Structure 1
Amino acid sequence: MDPPHPSPPELRLPNLTPLKLLGQGAMGTVFLVHDHLLDHAANFPFALKVVHKSSFVAKHHAERRARWEIQVLSRLSLPKPHPFLPDLIGSFESDEFLGWAVPYCPGGDLNVLRYRQMDRVFSPAVIRFYLAEIVCALEHLHSIDIVYRDLKPENVLIQQSGHVTLTDFDLSRKLTRKTVKDVVSLDDSGHEKLPVVAARRNFTRWIVGTAKVKKGLRKAKSARVSPVSRWKSGLITNNGERSNSFVGTEEYVSPEIIRGEGHEFAVDWWALGILTYEMLYGKTPFKGTNRKQTFRNVLVKAPELIGKRSDLTDLIERLLVKDPTKRLGYTRGACEIKEHAFFNGVKWDILTEVTRPPFLPAREETGWRENKAPGGVGIEEYFHRQRSPPSFPASPSPSSSPSTSFHLHNNGICLAEF
């Protein structure tokens, strides 16, 4: 039985002053805010997601997802925050609103960052760095019985430090993990030992390779599949609990979800394979002209691996195995992925000590302080005056077409979708 979750710290909505509109969608609005009583100079702003209860679509299910996300974030804060996952700063609820706050990530998301690169792709060394941190984040989620189910570039945010954090947990679910007894022989800690390499702080020493930064435009987000379109009762198997809900993002959804045969933690490793492919080639491997063709490609098409075979393409191929029981990560989770040859030389326990990640948020991406002005539109007033433009600066909209995600749209460079 899980320990009881303490109530998240309570925020007082009247004390929260919005500095910037970060994103807006059917399910909620995200603001960059500061507590003008505790942090008058706005030195420590945070991202606040606010949902107006009257605007809930499919109200019961939407409200349940919102409360579930608060619960997951509260769990992630215990016993201490994970370096690559958000912690819950606080929450509030009134008759009109439900809201919660997480740390602000000024570096945007991985998709924005990729579109700034030369040829809009990452080098293998940069891919290795980000994948290593994402694997650690997923490993922690799985260790507390949470399957993420929404891994995609838009949900990988860049912290001020240059390290990543995953966001948006409303599609996640708690599942019972399958056992690994009699499958492999493990050491006392439950993991096979990794080769030890010397600790290094500099990214270019941590793993050799760099990539140039070039400004560019982001693409529109992929359409997220509605999580209410195919609900079934949960299925319990000998290998652990499986979920039968139909959730995800079109281009990232796994074959077992499309088939409706039940899924578990291996869906996150499939999504990791799609993410890796997109980081390397600048596109997802199974996108069709419409949703039906995309799903058909996911079920029957092999990923096209262009160029000379390498450890990286081998990793992609092993993550994108259609049969989840044969997919890399199915049997021993993140341990199998960490042991892949692509990660040879990675010192997993010093990832947070890398003080020079591939990219750091540029100075202009934290320029909201210059626009801070007292007496702007408050959060409650903003919702009451939705037909009028807010008096605080909003994030610039990308020139690409708007997102069709089921929940929140990200706008501009400063993103905080969760």
Structure 2
Amino acid sequence: MDNSSSSNITSSPTELDLDNLRAIKVLGKGAMGTVFLAHHASTDPSALSPFALKVVDKSLSFAADADRRARWEISVLSRFRLHDPLHPFLPSLLGSSETADILCWAVPYCPGGDLNVLRHRQNDSVFSPAVIRFYLAEIILALEHLHGLGIVYRDLKPENILIQQSGHVTLTDFDLSRSLTPKKTVDPLPVCSDPETDFVPSRTFTRFVCPRKKKSVTNQKGLRKAKSARVSPVSRRNPGSFYERSNSFVGTEEYVSPEVVRGDGHEFSVDWWALGVLCYEMLYGKTPFRGKNRKDTFKRILMMQPEFMGKPNALTDLIGKLLEKDPTRRLGYRRGASEIKEHEFFRGLRWDLLTEVVRPPFLPSKDETELTEEVKKGGIDIREYFDKLKAPSSPLWSPSLDEQRHNVSLTEF
């Protein structure tokens, strides 16, 4: 990824005092390093405000790639801080630090775990359509903001969608993201609202939608005509007509879009494809194109249509339109998130009230007994942890859940 040259960790808001940071426990391990639940031993000795600390050990064999990706993620997180207020479904950079051996940065801790863990806690390991609608809506708003900054995410999957203490979502891991260069001005995304509806806001999950109204058929036909009118001969030849496309081969294999597999170049539509895969997995408990191996998975992505069970409905229609093989025909290609917001599945949803929902589908427990006991033990010295980790027989190493879905990159082919 060629974004690393533009990253600058000195733009972070706070220089972390690594000597006074204590890790409470390991939250996970991934391609870039280790994530700890940590606190500042001097200013927060009781760990009342713990945070997630991502650490890259520069001495490891894969450190050069991890270091480059880490610096890019830090630069992306720094860009989020330029917006006031901060986006509710994207993380903020709390601080960063670098020594000769370690590069680390801190983000808010999400005690609810990730969407994959949460799904497996449900009956039959699937979500109801109502729950899917809530989580999809928040993810769409996060992606809309990212795309507005010119950033394509490229790593949407349940493991990268975390549940905050409030029950709302936040995206994580931006090391595979990329900035796309605009080719020409794109029409601003219209605000999706219904000023004709008299609505008294309700702040519970089950009542954050407007009263249902009949949707005009002419509006849908008008959208089709508008889409046709916007396709110039240039954009027919070049799917990335608004932005310079990326030719990098990155992502998680079950979520990779057809244009990435083909090597055609890609832009924001890869995120809408991944949203379709995510939605399918939330509904059925499995991804739509998983094969016996990587080659079979990619063949299915290119050739196979998603299989739906039961009668067609608004949700399966949404998934089908997001999983359109041709990115120029995929929902969200022309007008971004606004196209998806207008889909029948989201009819009546009050997008402006999502952040005010105080009873989301799932609220993390506030049992802090285990955390308190670990803090009393003194926690983990981060430098000492990595020294032990370097020993070949170290008991500290274990595969992470995130690595169960294999990320792929151009260097592997």
User: TM-score normalised to the size of structure 1?
Assistant: 0.82
Please, which moves more after superposition, 363-372 or 83-92?
363-372
Tell me what 2:225 maps to: none
* Contact residue 12 and residue 74 of structure 2 kept, 8 A: no
Q: Is structure 2 residue 115 aligned with structure 1 residue 114?
A: no
**Aligned mates of 1:401, 1:138 — CA distance in 2:** 21
User: Which residue, 338, 341, 344 being the options, matches 1:341?
Assistant: 344
**Aligned mates of 1:191, 1:274 — CA distance in 2:** 25
User: Which residue, 174, 177, 180 being the options, matches 1:169?
Assistant: 174
* Contact residue 162 and residue 169 of structure 2 kept, 8 A: yes
CA deviation digits over 1:354-391, x for unaligned, max 9? 0000000123477422332253431011111224557x
**Aligned mates of 2:137, 2:283 — CA distance in 1:** 15
> What do you get for the CA RMSD once the two structures are aligned?
2.7
Q: What's the offset of the Cα at 1:308? A: 1.0
Q: 1:258 to 1:326 in 2, by over 3 A?
A: same
Tell me what 2:69 maps to: 65
Letter in 1 for 2:106: A
3-state secondary structure, aligned to 2:376: coil
**Aligned mates of 2:96, 2:265 — CA distance in 1:** 33
**Aligned mates of 1:275, 1:295 — CA distance in 2:** 17
Please, which moves more after superposition, 6-15 or 31-40?
6-15
| Count of residues in correspondence between the two structures | 368
**Aligned mates of 1:401, 1:72 — CA distance in 2:** 21
CA deviation digits over 1:224-253, x for unaligned, max 9? xxxxxxxxxxx9964321000000111100
* Contact residue 239 and residue 328 of structure 2 kept, 8 A: no
**Aligned mates of 2:346, 2:171 — CA distance in 1:** 20
Q: 1:30 to 1:117 in 2, by over 3 A?
A: same
Tell me what 1:149 maps to: 154
Q: Is structure 2 residue 131 aligned with structure 1 residue 140?
A: no
Letter in 2 for 1:33: A
* Contact residue 106 and residue 366 of structure 1 kept, 8 A: no
* Contact residue 86 and residue 102 of structure 1 kept, 8 A: yes
Q: Is structure 2 residue 102 aligned with structure 1 residue 102?
A: no
The sequence identity of aligned pairs, in percent, is: 61
3-state secondary structure, aligned to 2:96: strand
**Aligned mates of 2:115, 2:192 — CA distance in 1:** 30
* Contact residue 250 and residue 407 of structure 2 kept, 8 A: no
Q: Is structure 2 residue 253 aligned with structure 1 residue 250?
A: yes
* Contact residue 95 and residue 107 of structure 2 kept, 8 A: yes
Q: Relative to total residues, which structure has the larger helix share, 1 or 2?
A: 2
3-state secondary structure, aligned to 1:363: coil
**Aligned mates of 1:154, 1:366 — CA distance in 2:** 25
**Aligned mates of 1:334, 1:404 — CA distance in 2:** 27
User: Which residue, 191, 199, 202 being the options, matches 1:200?
Assistant: 202
Looking at both structures, which has the greater relative contact order when contacts are Cα pairs under 8 Å and sequence separation is at least 6? 1
* Contact residue 123 and residue 280 of structure 1 kept, 8 A: yes
Which sections of structure 2, spanning at least 5 residues, go unmatched?
Answer: 1-5, 211-237, 409-413
* Contact residue 27 and residue 56 of structure 1 kept, 8 A: no
**Aligned mates of 2:166, 2:101 — CA distance in 1:** 36
Q: 1:237 to 1:342 in 2, by over 3 A?
A: closer
Q: What's the offset of the Cα at 1:25? A: 3.7
Q: 1:376 to 1:362 in 2, by over 3 A?
A: closer
Q: 1:74 to 1:337 in 2, by over 3 A?
A: same
3-state secondary structure, aligned to 2:166: coil
* Contact residue 106 and residue 365 of structure 1 kept, 8 A: no
Which sections of structure 1, spanning at least 5 residues, go unmatched?
Answer: 209-234, 408-418
**Aligned mates of 1:296, 1:236 — CA distance in 2:** 21
3-state secondary structure, aligned to 1:315: helix
User: Which residue, 364, 371, 376 being the options, matches 1:373?
Assistant: 376
Q: 1:240 to 1:282 in 2, by over 3 A?
A: same
* Contact residue 152 and residue 267 of structure 2 kept, 8 A: yes
User: Which residue, 261, 264, 272 being the options, matches 1:261?
Assistant: 264
3-state secondary structure, aligned to 1:242: coil
Q: What's the offset of the Cα at 1:7? A: 3.5
